[in-house]
Amino acid sequence: MQKTIKPLTKLKITLTLIISVIIFASCVSSQLGKNDSGEFKNGMVVTAHPEASKVGIEILKKGGNAVDAAVAVQFALAVVYPNAGNIGGGGFMVYRSAKGEVNALDFREKASAAASRDMYLDAAGNPIVDKSLYGHLAAGVPGSVAGMVEAHQKYGKLSWKQVLQPAIDLAETGFEITKRQASELNGLHRRLMDININGTALVNLESTWQEKSLLVQTELANTLKLIQQKGKAGFYEGAVADSIVAEMKRGNGLITKQDLKNYRAVWRKPIIGNYRDYKIITMPPTSSGGIALIQLLQSVEPYPLKRWGHNADSTVQVVVEAERRVYADRATHLGDPDFYKVPQNTPLNINYNKKRMADFNWASATPSNQILAGVIKGKESEETTHFSIVDHDGNAVSITTTLNGSYGSFVVVKGGGFLLNNEMDDFSVKPGAPNMYGLVGGEANAIAPNKRMLSSMTPTIVEKEGKLFMVVGTPGGSTIITSVFQTIINVIDFDMNMQSAVAAKKFHHQWLPDEVYIEKDAIDSLSTEKLKAKGYKLVYRGPIGRVDAILKTKWGTLQAGADPRGDDTAIGY
């Protein structure tokens, strides 16, 4: 006998189905394309690798907060993005809670207690080529694991075991590498083999790497399991620490068990400044980025950038003149605040920055040799990684993390399966001599035992009217600061959505050499001719920055910006 459904029952069933569809739809995540500015309400993760972004969004969907997702992403990147993602490096985190609480975590690497000021100089006092770049002596004491433990203990919601498991799974079962990664690993085959005579999972001994080749890292999985089981002690003590020290002895490195045991991540007060109607929350020293970012914004604030237009000749001229002066300050005044009294009040004073721009002449470029003194041989790089995360409640995390150069020192810890950094090159090896990024430092950034080296990394969060507005950061060596700066003004001054602001072509000046580095098609031909006529030397180069950012719109939705210059991927739900 056929059963008749009453009209009221039909209505209840229909409503139930509609509600179920709505709930299901709200839980579905979407991976955005390279030029997609799609918007989501519940959460968003933007990282340098699609697998890492998937890990982060799954943690959010399981009820984790932005810090839980950040910890999971950091460890996942150590697996799937080994050229910069890491457990053998360090980084910076800027955090903003949904209630507006802000904090900054410094998990930058440190010099060994055995490090010395002149350790990379020859008998004549000149830097020994590549000694601070490659091999065991280039490595500083890693900070990433301590940083993630510290962040999770203070703000995490899910268990430590839960946030580590995705990275373990990726290392143990493997993941498909991208076309870009296959090319990189094939190109570095010889160098990885020369430094790691015992072999490494990153070297394919059977054939060349191909797009979608499966990369399995069993040793790294075992290291991650120890960190999962024992927390900080799983890395800085016991078997992993023994492996690091043994690796140091093999290559005459300096890091000891005591160096590892003594390492601490440090909570610091964020640098806070204003630009137009926005509050900028950014990283303090040992990052040079935060102070420099505020200086740049204050330097250009009096000028009508919006009226001039994006990358118009007047806009470029003002920005270049600001960058010239700010980078001169960076080289002179900044270093580890635990070792050197960093002058923050003066460079963050808007009147100081206006005064610095007072000798700017519209008729011609200011010669950089008239802006303080220094010699910088320019070399750019993009060997770092950044990720931005916002959760359902509005907590936000901005993390930039690195091994310094791509694949760091190229040393893979035997038995540990992870790369060590080459961050010692970020010290002033010899005050006045440039590092691998062409940046120079003075006495404030000279090598000393247990000291943190200066960095350009600039993780940043922006507020508007007391509410979250933007989470932003990028890799890029000396171009980090200018790339974050240009992304911010692209949104605030030029009304771009997040994806357009990230993808927009960039330019960069770093005081000396007295050259403006430009991405292809960043500046139109007429503006180019006007700038050249005023004495600006324009140098075209490859990609500048790889910004990963999130914008919170006035409607409360989250808008992604994943840089098309790399494999960067945004996922929202």
Can you tell me the distance from the alpha carbon of 470 to that of 463, in angstroms, rounded to the nearest whole number?
7
Question: What does residue 142 show for φ and ψ, rounded to 5 degrees?
Answer: -65, 150
Question: What does residue 558 show for φ and ψ, rounded to 5 degrees?
Answer: -105, 130
Q: In the structure encoding, which two tokens stand for residue 439, read together?
A: 């940046």
Residues 6+ apart with CB under 8 A from 464: 277, 278, 279
Runs of H (alpha helix) within 273-384: 289-300, 305-308, 313-333, 350-356
Determine contact, residues 434/425, Cβ cutoff 8 Å. no
**Packing angle of the helix pair 50-61, 160-173 (nearest 10 deg):** 150
Can you tell me the distance from the alpha carbon of 233 to that of 14, in angstroms, rounded to the nearest whole number?
55
What count of other Cβ atoms lies within 10 Å of the Cβ of residue 63? 12
Cis amide leading into 166 (omega within 30): no
Question: What does residue 316 show for φ and ψ, rounded to 5 degrees?
Answer: -60, -40
Place of tokens 């009820």: 63
Can you tell me the distance from the alpha carbon of 185 to that of 38, in angstroms, rounded to the nearest whole number?
33
Closest CA to 173 of 220, 227, 218: 218
Catalytic residue among 178, 315, 384, 569: 384
Residues 393-424 as b/e (b if ≥16 CB within 10 A, e otherwise) read: ebbbbbbbbbbbbbbbbbbbbbbbbbbbbbbb
Runs of H (alpha helix) within 251-312: 257-262, 289-300, 305-308
Closest CA to 311 of 153, 531, 119, 463: 531
- HEC string of 195-250 equals HCCCCCCCCCCCCCCCCCCEECCHHHHHHHHHHHHHCCHHHHCHHHHHHHHHHHHH
Q: Is 9 a catalytic residue?
A: no
Determine contact, residues 408/64, Cβ cutoff 8 Å. no
Determine the length of the chain: 573
Q: In the structure encoding, which two tokens stand for residue 429, read together?
A: 């090896």
Q: Residue 172's beta-bridge partner residues?
A: none
Can you tell me the distance from the alpha carbon of 488 to that of 496, in angstroms, rounded to the nearest whole number?
10
Catalytic residue ranges: 384
